[in-house]
Amino acid sequence: MRADRLVAALLVMQARGRVTAAELAAELEVSVATARRDLEALSSAGVPVYPQAGRGGGWRLVGRGRTDLSGLTAAEARALFLLVGPAASGSAEVRAALRKLVRALPETFREGARAAADAVVVDVAGWGGVGRVRPGLVGVLEEAVVGRRRVVLVYEGRGRVRSERVVEPWGLVDKDEVWYLVAGTGGGERTFRVDRVVSARVTDEVFERPEGFDLGVAWGRVVSEVERRRSSVSAVVSVESRFVRVLRAQFGRHCEVVSEVEGRSRVRLSATTALMIAQVLAGWGGLVEVVESEEVRVELARLGAELVALHGR
């Protein structure tokens, strides 16, 4: 969890005063790019962490070169706790870290820090939905990622075919409540959905993550490829301009306004198949007209005929 790392990064800097991104990465067992982003996040939040260029440079927690948390101002302490506080509600470890951090602050700052930590609650459940439950295997895989241990996965792929494979877990990604494992395999870099992992056994075999590997960059490649596949079919529709925001909510980045004239917009919608576009548009009734894509028009007509046959009586 990123909040854990931010607290840990600050404590490392408290102890050392100055670190390079590489040193912090080694300490926290993350990539250099991730360590640099965490340092930039602390700096952006108002914590007095600044980069120093040149030989002997790095990142420094200002205030007598080496400092403890009493070097933070009241505003800086509040900024730090506003940054990491929301994550504490779901993690006993983060709550414990924040309590220790509060005790390390000057007494006059503590009340403000506590108030900042409690100021924001993040509720990830949609209206009418239930709270997110982290898959149990995420914790197992997380330990393997941090410990650089190979894992024997039993994985259920397409067609529910199960296979066993040994992987090197390089990182985990939580995207819209679905967890993914980015790992090295005998066939190169692969991505696995954690909810399709039947079992995971961590071995004693240690591996080295590829030099220069950046989880954010690797995941960006995965997202780009998935989005490319998801946008292989498109249609242009005509709709009142006031409804474009609703279409955008349904199709996300696969909704592009082509033109707008006198209160109506032409919008290009994309998806993996014509049927997927038609299934969404069917709920709009006569509010949306397909002006380009015979495939989508055919699918809409077929869906309409099915509905009439089933409910027309």
pLDDT digits (tens, 9 = 90+) for 39-49: 888 887 777 78
pLDDT number for residue 192: 95
| pLDDT tier for residue 257 given thresholds of 50, 70 and 90 | very high
- Would you state the structure tokens that stand for residue 238, as one six-digit string? 């005509």
| pLDDT tier for residue 79 given thresholds of 50, 70 and 90 | confident
pLDDT number for residue 244: 95
Question: What is the average per-residue pLDDT within 156-160?
Answer: 85
pLDDT number for residue 65: 35
- Would you state the structure tokens that stand for residue 108, as one six-digit string? 């006059």
Least confident range of 11-15, 19-23, 62-66, 296-300: 62-66
Which of residues 236 and 6 earns the better pLDDT score? 236
SS3 263: coil
Count Cβ atoms within 10 A of the Cβ of residue 251 and give its class: 0-12 exposed, 13-18 middle, 19 or more buried.
buried
pLDDT number for residue 64: 39
| pLDDT tier for residue 66 given thresholds of 50, 70 and 90 | very low
| pLDDT tier for residue 281 given thresholds of 50, 70 and 90 | very high
pLDDT number for residue 224: 87
Measured distance CA(97)–CA(146) in Å, rounded: 19
pLDDT number for residue 242: 95
Cβ atoms within 10 Å of 206's Cβ, excluding its own: 10
Per DSSP bridges, beta strands 149-156 and 58-61 are unpaired
Measured distance CA(23)–CA(32) in Å, rounded: 8
Query: Contact at 8 Å (CB) between 77 and 94?
Result: no
Count Cβ atoms within 10 A of the Cβ of residue 232 and give its class: 0-12 exposed, 13-18 middle, 19 or more buried.
exposed
| pLDDT tier for residue 230 given thresholds of 50, 70 and 90 | confident
Residue 191 above 70 pLDDT? yes
User: Whole-angstrom distance between the N-terminal and C-terminal Cα of the chain?
Assistant: 55
Residue 63 above 60 pLDDT? no
Measured distance CA(47)–CA(285) in Å, rounded: 53
Measured distance CA(124)–CA(109) in Å, rounded: 30
Measured distance CA(131)–CA(122) in Å, rounded: 11
Residue 223 above 90 pLDDT? no
Question: What is the average per-residue pLDDT within 146-171?
Answer: 91
Question: What is the average per-residue pLDDT within 250-271?
Answer: 93
CA distances from 16 to 22, 28, 48, 81, 265 (A): 14, 14, 14, 21, 58
